[in-house]
Structures are given as C-alpha cells and as structure tokens.
C-alpha cells in the first residue's frame, strides 16, 4: 500500500476538503484526487464521499481511519529511529484539552516544542466537551474528569484533586462554611454541565446539589467570577494553584469530607507505534505540571 496515498486520505479526513488537503501536502488538487482514488481502488471500496464543496468519510472510511493512522505513525517512528541526524519530532500533533488546563498548561508548551523541533506542527483544540478522538484523528486528549470505561489508552500525568475555594472578600462578607449543609446557605458558582459537587465521606463519594445565581460553561469563567467575590467554586487544584499562591483565592476545608482525588490524564487512541511527537508532548506536559 502506497503510504503517500494514505497520507492524502488522512489529510482529507482531518480537513474535510480535498483542496485543503492538497494545499497542506503541497500537491495539486488533481494529484490528491488521484492518490485517493488509487487507495480506494486498491482497497476495493469508497472511503470518502465527495461533493463540490466538501468531503466526508464513508462508513468504510471511518473503519479504515485508525489503520491509516497506525501505518503513518509507524513510518514516522521508523524514520526517527533510524535517522542518522534526527531533527526532533516531526509531523502534525493534534491535541485536545479542556479550556482551563489548555490555556494554563498546554499552550505555554507550544512555543518551546516548536523551537526545539523545527519540523513539528501543532493543532490544539480547546473543548470542555468530550470529543471522539478516534473519529477526529486526534493524537492526544487531555482529560481531568473521572475516566469512564473506554477502549482508549490512559496515561496519568499528575494528581489533581478537587477543592472548594472562594475569595477572601467573599468569606469575610458571608462567612466560612464548615460543612456540606453550609453550602446550601452560600452562593455557589458552578459549571453548566456539573450540577453537583463531589466529595469523599467515609471513603465513599458523596454528591451535593448546589445552588447559585451564576453558572458558566468553562473553568476560566468560574475562576474569574470566584475571584470577584461572587461565591464559592469547586475546581481542581491545577485550576487555582496560582491564585492560592497569590492569595486571590483561598481553600475552604469542610468538616468530615475530603476533596475528591482526580488526575490529569493523557488519552490515546492506541499505545502501539506512538510517533515521537506524541511521546515528546506527554513527557513535556508531565514535567511542566509536576514542576508547578
């Protein structure tokens, strides 16, 4: 199987356009179309629906996508391993992350990674919703929430417990809660998709439905409103560590419960033949987060 044809297929699947795929690969649209047709002929099935404006994968194309990625990644790993003068990681690294950690922890890594690896390119998608990383051709997904059963490969980056926090001004004005019951008497700022806060009581998770006048769809907004003194918030330690250090926010410790232990995870479609760019990114992210 011609790997150049496979490269075209992968680029079409990620860009949704034959023309855009051709531009990224620096070939003509006609050449890209011929390569895609050659791959389909070799496999004996149509992989891509084509229209004058866009493309989309057929069911057979969706099934072939993880195999195509594995072939290209194996090629890149082999080239890197046997290159007499390695120039570092190369290719396009696709990463998705929650917005908070993405802005605070992932984005600062991009500049040094690009400077140290001249042939590396990065596509960063910040989403607080869970994405289908296999279907979208994403290399690494950074996740914080408790992991559900999945066929994805999970690699722990760092521990990252949940904490309740507030601004000193809010606590001075409204008092410091000391129990779960006290939370009902306070304004609680919550994420739109998290209607309950989770704690550990007697070794078991316990959830509390919380009320408040404000809710937001991302971590950054919740943290900012909390700093402005609008209420309590439950975020992860990684989200508020800098504010704790500066005194802009303080932790609220409740009796008889402890924060829920979470971790930052890197989720991968597979752990076989990982391209150097993926391994390098995970190592850099882990080092940066451990240092912080």
pLDDT, one tens digit per residue, over 152-182 is 888 999 999 899 999 999 999 999 999 999 9
For 1-86, which CATH class? mainly alpha
Helices (H), the chain: 3-15, 18-25, 29-43, 59-82, 99-101, 107-116, 168-174, 219-227, 237-246, 276-291
Q: Which two tokens stand for residue 102?
A: 């993405």
| Cβ partners under 8 Å of residue 251, min gap 6 | 163, 164, 165, 244
Q: What is the pLDDT of residues 212-252, one digit of tens each?
A: 899 998 899 999 999 999 999 999 998 999 999 999 999 99
Query: What is the percentage of the chain residues whose pLDDT exceeds 70?
Result: 93
Task: Report in angstroms the alpha-carbon separations of 41 from 70, 115, 200.
Answer: 20, 41, 57
Per domain, the residue ranges of the chain are: 1-86, 87-157+262-292, 162-259
Torsion, Cα of 236, 237, 239, 241 (10° steps): 170
Closest listed residue to residue 235, CA positions, set 247, 256, 252: 252
Cβ-proximal residues to 137 (8 Å cutoff; 6+ apart), any chain: 10, 13, 14, 65, 69, 94
- Whether 77 shows a pLDDT value over 80: the answer reads no
Identify which of 134, 140, 133 has the alpha carbon closest to the alpha carbon of residue 105.
Answer: 140
Averaged pLDDT, 84-113:
86
Where is 121: in which H helix or E strand? Answer: strand 120-126
Give the 3-state secondary structure of residue 162. strand
* Residue 169 in tokens: 């001004």
- What's the CATH number of domain 87-157+262-292, 3.90.850.10, 3.40.190.10, 3.20.20.20, 3.30.390.50? 3.40.190.10
CA angle 156–269–16, rounded 5-degree value: 130
Q: How many CB atoms lie within 10 A of CB 133?
A: 20
Higher-scoring residue by pLDDT: 269, 28: 28
- Mean pLDDT over 72-83 rounds to 67
Average pLDDT, the chain: 88
**More reliable by pLDDT, 81 or 70:** 70
- Dihedral sign, CA of 32, 34, 35, 39? positive
3-class SS at 151?
Answer: coil
Intrachain domains 87-157+262-292 and 162-259 with the same fold: yes
User: Smallest Cα–Cα separation from 246: which of 158, 186, 165?
Assistant: 165
Which single residue is written with the structure tokens 């479609």? Answer: 269
The CATH number corresponding to 162-259 among 1.10.940.10, 3.30.160.70, 3.40.50.2300, 3.40.190.290 equals: 3.40.190.290
Return the minimum-mean-pLDDT range out of 110-114, 157-161, 201-205, 269-273: 269-273
SS3 per-residue string spanning 87-104: CCCCEEEEEEECHHHHHH
């Amino acid at each position: 199987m011609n790997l150049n044809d496979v490269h075209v297929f992968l680029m079409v699947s990620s860009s949704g356009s034959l023309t855009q795929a051709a531009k990224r690969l620096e070939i003509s649209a006609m050449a890209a179309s011929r390569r895609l047709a050659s791959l389909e002929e070799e496999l004996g099935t149509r992989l891509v629906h084509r229209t004058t404006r866009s493309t989309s994968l057929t069911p057979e194309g969706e099934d072939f996508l993880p195999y195509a990625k594995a072939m290209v990644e194996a090629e890149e790993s082999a080239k890197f391993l046997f290159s007499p003068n390695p120039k570092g990681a190369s290719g396009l690294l696709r990463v998705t992350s929650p917005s908070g950690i993405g802005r605070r922890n992932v984005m600062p890594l991009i500049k040094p990674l690009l400077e140290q690896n001249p042939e590396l390119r990065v596509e960063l998608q910040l989403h607080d919703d869970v994405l289908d990383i296999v279907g979208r051709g994403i290399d690494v997904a950074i996740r914080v929430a408790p992991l559900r059963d999945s066929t994805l490969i999970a690699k722990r980056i760092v521990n990252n417990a949940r904490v309740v926090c507030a601004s000193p001004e809010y606590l001075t004005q409204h008092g410091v809660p000391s129990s779960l019951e006290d939370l009902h008497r306070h304004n609680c700022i919550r994420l739109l998709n998290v209607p309950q806060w989770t704690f550990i009581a007697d070794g078991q998770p316990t959830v509390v439905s919380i009320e408040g006048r404000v809710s937001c769809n991302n971590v950054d907004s919740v943290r900012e409103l909390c700093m402005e003194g609008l209420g309590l918030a439950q975020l992860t330690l990684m989200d508020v560590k800098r504010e704790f250090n500066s005194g802009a926010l303080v932790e609220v410790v409740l009796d008889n419960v402890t924060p829920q232990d979470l971790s930052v995870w890197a989720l991968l479609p597979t752990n076989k033949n990982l391209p150097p760019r993926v391994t390098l990114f995970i190592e850099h992210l882990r080092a940066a987060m451990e240092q912080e």
